[in-house]
């Protein structure tokens, strides 16, 4: 996730996915659904009826992963290879780019699992979808830890906070495999997805396009301390947004629908 776009686009993907899960939780809790994910509806006949019944979340995951891969490959100068041989030595090259592509491919596979489970299987397999999501995060976490090896100062602190949020999200996703129908898990999953997404977008602006016009200084302790403060504001913002989504959903399902 190098460069401004490499932080902005994945951040948007995580954030909107968190909004999607916040809406699922709100609907399930307000309408007293025993499960968060509704079962697959029987297919109705008709050309347009089937299009209306398709679950598009998996297709959006696949499309988003493909866009991120294309953006990553477009920004690579020269020939994209894994190993280069110079002076009879073997050298691995583009290590961060390969990490990015590995991460994007796991979310691509998660999207493929969603499409198969939601639209092709006779009965939706939610456990399979959740397992694919957890696998993607299990791959993402060690890649992010390795990603900070050559960083320092503001960038290092910002990525440590990102890893903290992703670790908690991985724990929540793992817990959901054994407790899939616990509303507390649904809330934390939606909240952490939004925190990771909004913080990734903030990282893009902070490191590459500061809104103030002044570059963040790695040797300034005040800048490093305010990185943590901003992260806490993101957590608070996500919590307030969760409350707003629940309140809007309550008004929608009780008074409008």
Separation CA 254–CA 246 (nearest Å): 12
- In this prediction, residue 210 carries a pLDDT of 83
The confidence band for 196, taking pLDDT boundaries of 50, 70 and 90, is very high
Least confident among 66-75, 79-88, 243-252: 79-88
Separation CA 41–CA 212 (nearest Å): 50
Per-residue pLDDT tens digits for 140-188: 898 888 888 878 888 889 999 999 999 999 999 999 999 888 888 999 9
Written as one string, the DSSP assignment of 3-68 is: HHHHHHHHHHHHHHHHHHHHHHHHHHHHTT-SSSSPPPPPPPSSHHHHHHH---HHHHHHHHHHHH
Per-residue pLDDT tens digits for 198-219: 999 999 888 888 877 778 787 7
Separation CA 237–CA 95 (nearest Å): 34
Contacts of 138 (CB under 8 A, 6+ apart): 170
The model's pTM: 0.88
Residue 109 has pLDDT above 60, yes or no: yes
Per-residue pLDDT tens digits for 113-122: 988 888 888 8
Residue 251 has pLDDT above 90, yes or no: no
């Amino acid at each position: 996730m190098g460069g401004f776009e490499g932080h902005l686009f994945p951040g948007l993907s995580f954030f909107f996915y968190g909004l999607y899960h916040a809406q699922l939780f709100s609907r399930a809790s307000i309408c007293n659904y025993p499960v968060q994910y509704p079962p697959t509806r029987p297919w109705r006949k008709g050309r347009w009826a089937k299009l209306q019944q398709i679950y598009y979340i998996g297709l959006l995951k696949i499309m988003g992963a493909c866009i991120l891969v294309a953006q990553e490959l477009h920004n690579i100068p020269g020939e994209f290879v894994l190993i280069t041989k110079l002076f009879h030595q073997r050298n691995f090259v583009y290590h961060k780019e390969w990490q990015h592509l590995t991460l994007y491919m796991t979310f691509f596979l998660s999207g493929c699992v969603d499409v198969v489970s939601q639209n092709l299987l006779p009965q939706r397999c939610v456990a399979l979808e959740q397992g694919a999501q957890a696998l993607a995060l299990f791959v993402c976490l060690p890649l992010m830890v390795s990603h900070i090896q050559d960083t320092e100062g503001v960038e290092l602190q910002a990525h440590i906070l990102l890893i903290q949020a992703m670790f908690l999200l991985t724990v929540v996703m793992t817990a959901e495999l054994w407790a899939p129908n616990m509303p507390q898990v649904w809330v934390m999953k939606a909240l952490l997805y939004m925190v990771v997404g909004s913080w990734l977008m903030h990282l893009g602006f902070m490191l590459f396009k500061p809104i103030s016009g002044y570059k963040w200084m790695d040797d300034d302790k005040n800048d490093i301390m305010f990185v943590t403060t901003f992260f806490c504001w993101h957590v608070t913002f996500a919590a307030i947004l969760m409350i707003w989504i629940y309140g809007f959903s309550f008004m929608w399902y009780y008074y409008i629908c």
